[in-house]
Chains A and B, each alone.
Chain A
């Protein structure tokens, strides 16, 4: 009986700690939502207002800015383009890594992984120069290429794990039935790893959507992704427009928050590049 009571006390204690932690985690997200619904003077009121009459003004303001729309579009184009390209070249490659044994396989795989560990700053100055020569400075194409570099390691290592987990026998059966190796990959293995492909695509999308350093340095006037837009647009000489800033922040994180919840089962694999499942 005494032991049981101790258990309950411990249970309550654990939940209390967890709830406090959860509140700390949730607070900034809640606060940016609240700020986005406040009028200008409410956003900088002292003491800060927790109760206030909500207004939609900031959202109307943000949505009517040409800059926000074009940034949203730029972010979308760059994210979709780089994810598409990374998947297109990375998926077949990861299949080869998972299925074939050839000389130098592990070295190549580790080299791909190490590109992710590489501090991006070291290639930025060369990129600026090369992009300038190729005439793709400040364009979607240039930033898409840079983001392929961000996402390729993720795609290769994550998909390699998914492909390895599909039994080779299924493919062999298809080949016995008259499929070519290519056909077996295309019509058997790839459909079977569709959930993994979706998770990989969403996580890469998230990385590209949130990426800041390449976007800040490789694009400036013609192309401006959301993070770059947000870091500069609302911070004026004298004051920060907290309301519109918060509203655009909320609009920018809604898709990524949805993604992260949607792929939570695959997150561990994704964040450790397939090292853990």
Chain B
């Protein structure tokens, strides 16, 4: 009996270990290998070049632009989805009727494939016949170029991403709000606390762990978000919406500069590990 208990975990653990080794560890080692070589002559005749590829990428203005765009995109979508999701969650938890219907409506974007969300919004934001510009004309706003405008393109893809992911924030924060102890709010009400006082001194501190989890998950997703940007702008116009992952895709797969793709991928991985080491481990425990 005792012996079987000991073997049991390992038999069940082995397939996952093998899978992760084959699908993660080995490819990562391979990516490091590629990143240190020049594959201009084909991958069989790869030549060791040390850190030159890293230097090439890190010193290129196009890559700095991609880093800047990634920062704007990530900050924009995380911030906005958090704000809107929080507002909706607070409203939902303060009403008594229709909560279930609203909830079902608000989670729908999570079921829409990002590619289809991108294509649909692209259609709606078409500068010539899109319905959004048609509505905006009533407000006196004319001829916005949206994804085709070099200044508006990045905000446009952020907006589409916000549409897709606000439900995620809303769901988690709403679930968090439901878990808060009612007694605190009753006590505060008896003491005559205002809405803002209750929000700042009770809701926010109690909700903190959940807020942090929601933000981290959203941050990680946004950082490697690809689908919407690719379907709406493919990184353009010019380099206006090129984020790091789009740049890595273009370098590695479109221009067949495998080593540059690997380098950007690894840089993204370092950033992810850096963030997750600091945050995730401590918080999910």
Interface centre among A18, A95, A146 (most CB of B within 10 A): A18
Residue pair A275, B105 in contact (C-beta under 8 Å): no
Q: How many residues of A contact B (CB 8 A)?
A: 92
Residues of B within 8 A of A130 (CB): 26-27, 30
Instruction: Give chain A nearest CB distance to B179 CB in angstroms.
Output: 9
Q: Which of B1-48 contact A (CB under 8 A)?
A: 4-5, 8-9, 12-13, 15-17, 19-20, 23-24, 26-28, 30-31, 34, 43
- Residues from chain A with a CB closer than 8 A to the CB of B104 are 261, 264
B128 contacts A93, C-beta separation under 8 Å: no
Of the residues A125, A230, A268, contact of B171 by C-beta under 8 Å: A268
Q: How far is the CB of A123 from chain B (nearest CB, A)?
A: 4
Q: How far is the CA of A273 from the CA of B128 in the complex (A)?
A: 42
* A204-245 CB contacts (< 8 Å) to partner B: 206, 209-210, 212-213, 216-217, 226-227, 230-231, 240, 242, 245
1/0 contact string of A7-20 vs chain B (CB within 8 Å)? 00001001101100
Q: Is A122 an interface residue, CB under 8 A from the partner?
A: yes
Judge if B71 is at the interface, Cβ distance under 8 Å: no
Q: Kindly list chain B residues whose C-beta atoms are within 8 Å of the C-beta of A181.
A: 4-5, 8
**B236 interface contact, C-beta 8 A:** no
| A45 is an interface residue with CB less than 8 A from chain B | yes
Question: B92 on the interface (CB 8 Å rule)?
Answer: yes
Residue of A whose beta carbon sits closest to that of B266: A122
With a CB–CB cut-off of 8 A, which chain B residues contact A167? none
Given A31-B124, A126-B34, A276-B175: A111 and B13 interface contact (C-beta under 8 Å): no
Which residue of the partner chain, among B24, B102, B226, B273, contacts A123 with CB atoms under 8 Å? B24
How many residues of chain B are within 8 Å of chain A by beta carbon? 92
Q: Secondary structure at chain B's binding surface: helix, strand, loop or mixed?
A: helix
The 22 sampled A-B contact pairs (Cβ below 8 Å) are A14-B94, A18-B102, A21-B88, A32-B123, A46-B128, A92-B15, A96-B9, A110-B280, A110-B281, A119-B272, A121-B264, A122-B248, A124-B253, A125-B258, A227-B113, A249-B120, A253-B111, A258-B111, A271-B168, A271-B217, A272-B217, A276-B210
Beyond A226-B113, A227-B227, A261-B107, 18 extra complex contacts between A and B, CB < 8 Å: A28-B117, A31-B131, A100-B5, A100-B9, A102-B9, A117-B276, A119-B265, A122-B31, A122-B262, A125-B34, A125-B261, A126-B31, A210-B115, A212-B114, A227-B113, A253-B116, A267-B107, A271-B110
